Amino acid sequence: MIEHAKYITLTGKAYSNVFAILVLVFICFSANAQEDPPRPLKVTTFQNLSFGAFIQGNTGGQVIIDPQGNRSFTGDLIPVYLGYQYYPAIFETEAIPGSIITILNGPNITLAGNHGGTLTLQLGASIPPSPYINTTNYPYKTQVRIGGTLIVGTMLNNPSGDYIGYFSVTFIQQ
């Protein structure tokens, strides 16, 4: 038995016709890809809040640090500059440009003293003010500065010493 094989050969014109048909098929079908999900907001602590050193009088008062780092006093508190620095809290945020960031301060905080006593910390305003629109591109960061008010009582209620505590700030990306 003899078998005959048929071979089909395409000429240059046939190749160009097949290529043209494939191009038309690919043009007719459009592919849509899903865009990348938005980069989540990233927040890091750059600097903690510090009220520096001061001497309290008989009635107490308040120590106020504004977001720019200025310190002021009410009552009979006396500022002291013994190498203890004062400054606002600074957070660094990374977000997609155009994101709306809302800052929510946590509740008042009770600071515990190393010699007894407690102080109350109220978080204050921020720079930039909340809400703000992020305008920086990755890998650049936006610095958010937050001040606060320290409420100081009498010497009996708040003996001198170091007071420490932790506060929370929530950043919401929209």
Q: What is the CB-side half-sphere exposure of residue 123 using CA atoms within 13 A?
A: 21
Q: Cis peptide before 38, with omega less than 30 degrees from 0?
A: no
- pLDDT digit string, tens, across residues 87-112: 999 999 999 999 999 999 999 999 99
**CB atoms near residue 47 (< 10 Å):** 14
pLDDT band for position 157 (50/70/90)?
A: confident
pLDDT band for position 120 (50/70/90)?
A: very high
**Residues 95 and 101 sit within 8 Å (Cβ to Cβ):** yes
User: pTM, whole model, 2 decimals?
Assistant: 0.75
Enumerate residues 6+ apart whose C-beta is below 8 A from 103: 126, 130, 131, 144, 146, 169, 170, 171, 172
Q: Report pLDDT for 16.
A: 64
Which of 87-91, 109-113, 125-129, 137-141 is predicted with the least confidence, judged by mean pLDDT?
A: 137-141
pLDDT band for position 31 (50/70/90)?
A: low
The residue with greater pLDDT, 4 or 144, is 144
**Residues 82 and 53 sit within 8 Å (Cβ to Cβ):** yes
Q: What are the boundaries of each domain within the chain?
A: 42-173
* Residues of the chain by 3-state class (helix, strand, coil), percent to 5: 10, 45, 45
Q: Report pLDDT for 62.
A: 97
- pLDDT digit string, tens, across residues 45-70: 999 999 999 998 889 999 999 999 99
